[in-house]
């Protein structure tokens, strides 16, 4: 059994959630398995071991769980990127594409200084609309987006390719068709 198969086995698939036809890739089983959680975090940041990373930006909500662990691992600060209206201080805001329509995400305006090296973290990339919005938001305030890391890639939906076309190195640990 390969490493990837092993870790992939810890992700649970729920058919027809949240609606018919969707195969929901549930990472709560991976997070609840101490060995799998540690391996996922270690593997996500492996290429940047020894690099200077100033901040890890995590996307609400599942990106917060991983992003905090990743930030600790690379000795960086953690910055939440939240759905609009949740952050108390002055924010910068970016619209992003959902399956149907758009929404807006926010970050505190002073969370990242111009030129700081940032890794973006989320659990999964599908169409890439969420991550694309996050990269635009980070670049808007002058962050140097070093990489975007996800446990799961759904390559058929094209999100990772979209980010690479924006010159963002993308790291994923497994793919589901």
**Site for ligand PRP, rule CB under 6 A:** 59-62, 122-131, 159
Catalytic residues: 62, 99
The least CB distance from residue 149 to ligand ADE, in Å, is 16
Q: Which residue has the tokens 């901040």?
A: 55
The least CB distance from residue 115 to ligand PRP, in Å, is 26
Residues 6+ apart with CB under 8 A from 96: 102, 103, 104, 105, 129, 130, 132, 133, 134
Check residue 23 for interaction with ligand ADE (CB under 6 A).
Answer: yes
Let me know if 75 is exposed, middle or buried by CB neighbors in 10 A (0-12, 13-18, 19+): exposed
Cis bond before residue 61 (omega within 30° of 0) = yes
- 49-88: which residues touch ligand ADE (CB under 6 A)? none
- 98-157: which residues touch ligand ADE (CB under 6 A)? 124, 126
Residues 6+ apart with CB under 8 A from 64: 58, 80
Q: Beta strands of 3-90 (E only): which ranges? A: 12-15, 23-26, 55-59, 77-83
The least CB distance from residue 2 to ligand PRP, in Å, is 25
Check residue 171 for interaction with ligand ADE (CB under 6 A).
Answer: no
Member of 25, 55, 162, 171 binding ligand ADE (CB under 6 A): 25
CA torsion 77-81-82-84 (nearest 10°) is 130
Among the candidate windows 18-26, 49-57, 75-83, 101-109, which touches ligand ADE by CB under 6 A?
A: 18-26
Q: Choose between 23 and 165: whose C-beta lies nearer to ligand ADE.
A: 23
The least CB distance from residue 117 to ligand ADE, in Å, is 27
Q: How far is it, in rounded angstroms, from Cα 122 to Cα 130?
A: 9
Member of 3, 4, 6, 24 binding ligand ADE (CB under 6 A): 24
- Residues lying near ligand ADE in the complex (CB under 6 A): 22-25, 124, 126
């Amino acid at each position: 059994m390969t490493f990837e198969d092993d870790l992939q086995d810890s992700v649970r698939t729920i058919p027809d959630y949240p609606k018919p036809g969707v195969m929901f890739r549930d990472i709560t089983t991976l997070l609840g398995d101490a060995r799998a959680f540690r391996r996922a975090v270690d593997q996500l940041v492996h290429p940047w071991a020894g690099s200077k990373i100033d901040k890890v930006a995590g996307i609400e909500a599942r990106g917060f769980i991983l992003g905090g662990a990743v930030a600790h691992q690379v000795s960086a600060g953690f910055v939440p990127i939240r759905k609009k209206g949740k952050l108390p201080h002055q924010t910068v805001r970016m619209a992003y594409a959902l399956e149907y329509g758009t929404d807006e995400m926010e970050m505190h305006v002073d969370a990242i200084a111009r030129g700081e090296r940032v890794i973006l973290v989320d659990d999964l990339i599908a169409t890439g609309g969420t991550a694309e919005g996050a990269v635009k938001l980070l670049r808007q305030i002058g962050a140097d987006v070093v990489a975007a890391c996800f446990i799961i890639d759904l390559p058929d939906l094209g999100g990772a390719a979209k980010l690479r076309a924006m010159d963002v190195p993308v790291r994923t640990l497994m793919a589901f068709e």
